[in-house]
Structure 1
Amino acid sequence: MRRKIISTMFFVSLLTLAATSIPTCTAAKPKVVLHAKGALQADRQLQAIMNNITWVNWVLVMGELTASDLADAKMLISVRVDAALSYTASELEAIDQWFSTGGKAIWVAGDSDYPSDNGRVLSGNALFEYLGSVLRFESCETVDPETNAGADYRVYGVPDNCAPELSFLVQGVNYALFHGPGLIVGYYDGEYHKLEAERPSNVYLIMTSSPTGTTAEFTEPVAQVHEVGETGEFPLLVMEINYANKNIVIASADGPFDHYTGMYMPELYGIQRYSIDYPQQGAILFKNIVDFVLSFADTMITQYNQITTMQGQISTLQGQITSLQGQVSTLQGEVDNLESQVTAAQGNVTMWQGIAIALLVVGLVVGVAVKSLMKK
């Protein structure tokens, strides 16, 4: 039911917020922290993000992330530019404290287990676990020999398997680049799970590989749940929504920027390849996600919770109605039984009335006969 009603709720949100979906010049800009951990400067894609999406207050952090960096932020996009760097204990604590207040979104970029990139798998999973998310990066790489930008490691993710509830996120998107991506799986009930096969009701696929997506292996440990050489539509971009505290976790199997070539406007590094030979719409996908998180998510989740509450109340009332119907049925049975008894009693009364009348007639006849004999 959750997956059926959420789409309706979002479109209601769109109608409600249509006039205010993008903040006006007088409104405070929503704050989004871009954590490019280990970067020396913003790359072309990161600069383009900050220059093109101007209604957002972008805060760039290239060193250690602190609580003050996250103060008043609505969203954190975390990319480990230096794959060898892990989150420090103080960073994990700062992120968790910020996230635990609710109404926040975090986008964590993963990577493949290629030797120079594998650190992003480990550090990303450490953050997911710290936050209590079910999402994980698997220790492997996704390649695609057919749906790509000229090489199997330049994987083009497709929106074909996007959850219907979130289909608006991929509007205008046919392909998005995931350059040497990993693969996103789930970890819950003490086990790893293939999210393309099963997932919790609050976990949504957004982009996957095409059916010719293939798993590859570079660095131990081996992949937790997929086999090397396995083909399938593997999750490359996944969203987890916590409806209780209105938090959102986004996992991408590669970075929206950096990571050699990120999702957002890869044509900045090769216009012939990424705009002409193999056109893609990574910038649209990125903007759609940011717009959703900053402008619509809160209202949609609130409406979802309201509808869920009302559905619970309706279910309770339906149970009460069913119980009352049972009581009415029982009472009707008792009434029918009493009517049968009354009918039977009425039959008995009618019988005794007939006998009494007959006896009266007999008595009258006998009386007349006796009187006649006495006269003689």
Structure 2
Amino acid sequence: MRIGIREKRIATMLILAALFGSYLAAPVPVRAAGTGTIVFDLSHGQYKATIFNTTDLWLTGNLTQMGYTVVWAKGGINASILENAVAFIAGSIYGVTKGYSTAELTAITDWFNTGKKFMWIGYDSDFGGYTYINDNMTAILDGVDSHVYGEPTAVADPISCTGASYRVVANGTSTNSYVASIVANVNKVLMHGPTLVYGSNSTTPSHSTAPVALETTTITNVYPLLYYGGNATILDSDATPPIAHADGAKGKFVAATLEINAGTAKTGVLVVSGASPYGDYQPMYSDAYYGVALNGYNLVKQAIDFGINTATAVDMTLTYVIAAIGVVVVIVIIAIVLKRK
């Protein structure tokens, strides 16, 4: 049977439509896992030789094996060192004179607010009146419209700890499926001399705006990751009281969170924790302390990897719109051809 020109045209159009449809239905390409530069801050008192030469270098090796490039910033933070970074991680600062300068704060917040960046800000307790620690970490988060902040207080736990109540072991994790890959194989995370975190339940967040306890209030795009045990107790020891909690309160407080759609561009990812993931007297990345086996290293690695890949994923919305328009055009052409004699 002879196939006419009209039928050939229709067949051609149908093939084109099928090709467009296949393209539209294809999986969304995202950024390859384990690529990009991670900048760790060592410029503000976080360096401790015994930790850096063991735990911190172990973290470096693991992230390198995952495909990342790790940079330890020892000479300050500026736009140049952050220029090609996909992630910036700042553990709690140490030393009254070691605070972030205005220029450094601007460099960090401007970098993050360009969008598609991951940042982790680690806190510490204000035990001994060390309010400068909380003030400096909070200054960074205020500059990126964070919905989570560290409480200006301390948490102790005489039961879930590594031999002393201030060496707390956070032993609870989220059951939310969205963060399941972050908390997989995590149930003992060292939080050395820590605080807890609270939320700012506002569309214009800041550390002092609409403060809420994250144990009882849900904030859009904020996911608690890690919880202290039921014997964790808030022990405030200075003139600055907790903001969203009460001194002496006891319970399963939130120790760390993940926030997506963060920053002024609404495309960044933030982790905020009540202790430092690296450095410190002993970081969250530790695998053992005072004879207690720990697995916080899983949380740290997995949160970094998840955060970077979520923040830098390729947005295919425009591509899909163009493909959809193409399909519509092809269908219209086919309809016109079918009406011709």
**Considering the TM-score relative to the shorter chain, is it more than 0.5?**
yes
Contact 2:173 2:183 (8 Å CA) reproduced: no
Larger Rg: 1
Matching residue of 1:257 = 278
Give the drift of 1:41: 6.3
Contact 2:147 2:201 (8 Å CA) reproduced: yes
Selected match of 1:216 from 208, 229, 235: 235
Contact 1:30 1:74 (8 Å CA) reproduced: yes
Selected match of 2:298 from 275, 279, 284: 284
Give the drift of 1:116: 6.5
Q: Does 1:97 align with 2:102?
A: no
Partner SS state of residue 42, structure 2: strand
Q: Does 1:159 align with 2:178?
A: no
Selected match of 1:31 from 27, 34, 37: 37
Matching residue of 1:198 = 217
Give the drift of 1:212: 1.6
Give the drift of 1:21: 3.4
- Higher relative contact order (CA closer than 8 Å, sequence separation 6+): 2
Q: Does 1:76 align with 2:94?
A: no
Q: Which runs of 4+ in 1 moved over 6 A?
A: 15-19
RMSD: 2.6
User: Which blocks of at least 5 consecutive residues in structure 2 are unaligned?
Assistant: 1-26, 203-208, 322-341
User: Which region of structure 1 is more displaced relative to structure 2, 100-109 or 113-122?
Assistant: 113-122
Q: Deviations over 1:192-243 (max 9, x none)?
A: 1101110311111000101221111112211112122211111111111117
Matching residue of 1:182 = 195
Contact 2:92 2:124 (8 Å CA) reproduced: no
Contact 1:111 1:117 (8 Å CA) reproduced: no
Partner SS state of residue 80, structure 2: helix
Contact 2:268 2:311 (8 Å CA) reproduced: no
Selected match of 1:50 from 53, 60, 65: 60
Q: 1:41 to 1:156 in 2, by over 3 A?
A: closer
Contact 1:83 1:118 (8 Å CA) reproduced: no
Matching residue of 1:126 = 139
Q: Deviations over 1:268-301 (max 9, x none)?
A: xx4xx3xxx42110111111112212335544x9
Q: Deviations over 1:24-70 (max 9, x none)?
A: xxxxx410000123346652322221123212111111232000000
Partner SS state of residue 256, structure 2: strand
Selected match of 2:100 from 73, 87, 93: 87
Partner SS state of residue 278, structure 2: coil
Query: 1 CA distance for matches of 2:62 and 2:81?
Result: 22
Contact 2:31 2:312 (8 Å CA) reproduced: no
Partner SS state of residue 123, structure 1: helix
Query: 2 CA distance for matches of 1:80 and 1:231?
Result: 24
User: Which blocks of at least 5 consecutive residues in structure 1 are unaligned?
Assistant: 1-14, 23-28, 310-376
Matched to 1:204, the amino acid is: Y
Q: 1:191 to 1:242 in 2, by over 3 A?
A: same
Query: 1 CA distance for matches of 2:91 and 2:31?
Result: 33
Tell me which protein shows more helix as a share of its residues: 1
Give the drift of 1:162: 4.7
- The sequence identity of aligned pairs, in percent, is 25
Per the normalisation by structure 1, the TM-score is 0.68
Q: Deviations over 1:141-198 (max 9, x none)?
A: 1111221222211111123335332121011111111011111011244321101110
